């Protein structure tokens, strides 16, 4: 009788430990830690230089985002970014082969991605030069170039320099990733004035 009681208590204790471990792992697996990747980027000295480099300048809103990571046969990362569906509100400049208009949706590669840590709990969000993903509640002006690999995808000119939240005042992170003191520009204000965005 005493032996049966010990077995029952042991089984119950093991069940609680298993349940506790599972709950801890599930909770820990939802956590996302941030890691910044410092990378050399195309950078501009003037607004005109950036506009000339870009093939498409638009305003609009992000509507949906999807993590995109591919690996080669050895397990090394080949492509890694967030693909964001961006609904165009206004085409400000277009030197592209596609004739875009208001309401069209384009795909934009945002320079950040989430990597599942595998058996280790949690995920890691990698961000190039402290890039912050677009917020679905805001409107943006984007300066874009076509991706050299995927013809239906656009890349933001100069990482942070070619993305501007036009719903909030001030420069929203355009200097991130540029060495402190190297530049003192006001791209956002100049661009809004150039394209009459108020």
Please provide the DSSP assignment of 68-92 as one string.
Answer: EEEE-TTS-EEEEEEEEEEEEEEEE
Digitized pLDDT (tens) for each residue of the chain, 198 residues in all:
566 666 666 565 555 555 444 444 445 445 767 667 777 778 888 889 999 999 999 999 999 999 988 778 887 777 888 999 999 999 999 998 889 999 999 999 999 888 775 566 678 888 888 888 999 999 999 999 999 888 889 999 988 889 999 988 766 554 544 444 444 446 888 898 999 987
CB 174, CB 160: distance < 8 Å:
yes
Q: How far apart are CA 179 and CA 174, in angstroms?
A: 12
Q: How many residues does the chain have?
A: 198
Q: What is the pLDDT of residue 71?
A: 79
Q: What is the pLDDT of residue 11?
A: 63
Torsion of CA 198, 157, 107, 137, to 10 degrees: -40
Please enumerate in sequence order all residues whose Cβ is within 8 A of that of 188, keeping only pairs 6 or more positions apart, or say none: 141, 164, 166, 170, 171, 172, 174
pTM equals 0.75
- Candidates 146, 163, 156, 61; CA nearest to 102 is 61
- Candidates 189, 75, 188, 82; CA nearest to 132 is 82
pLDDT digits (tens, 9 = 90+) for 47-83: 899 999 999 999 999 999 999 887 788 877 778 889 9
Distance, first Cα to last Cα, the chain: 82
pLDDT digits (tens, 9 = 90+) for 4-17: 666 666 565 555 55
CB 161, CB 142: distance < 8 Å:
no
Q: What is the pLDDT of residue 14?
A: 55
- Candidates 88, 138, 128; CA nearest to 108 is 88
Average pLDDT of the residues of the chain: 79
Retrieve residue 32's tokens: 């996302």
């Amino acid at each position: 009788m005493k032996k049966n009681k010990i077995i029952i208590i042991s089984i119950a204790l093991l069940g609680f430990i298993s349940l506790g471990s599972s709950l801890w792992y599930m909770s820990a697996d939802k956590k996302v830690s941030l890691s910044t990747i410092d990378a050399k980027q195309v950078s501009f000295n003037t607004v005109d230089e950036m506009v000339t480099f870009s093939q498409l300048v638009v305003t609009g809103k992000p509507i949906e985002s999807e993590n995109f990571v591919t690996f080669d046969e050895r397990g090394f990362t080949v492509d890694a970014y967030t693909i964001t569906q961006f609904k165009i509100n206004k085409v400000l400049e277009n030197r592209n082969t596609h004739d875009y208009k208001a309401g069209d949706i384009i795909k934009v590669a945002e320079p950040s991605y989430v990597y599942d840590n595998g058996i280790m709990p949690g995920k890691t969000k990698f961000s190039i030069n402290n890039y912050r993903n677009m917020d679905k509640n805001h409107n943006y002006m984007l300066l874009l170039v076509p991706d050299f690999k995927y013809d239906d995808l656009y890349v933001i000119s100069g990482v942070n320099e070619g993305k501007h939240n036009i719903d909030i005042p001030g420069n929203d992170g355009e200097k991130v990733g540029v060495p402190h003191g190297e530049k003192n520009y006001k791209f956002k204000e100049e661009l809004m004035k150039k394209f009459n965005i108020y």
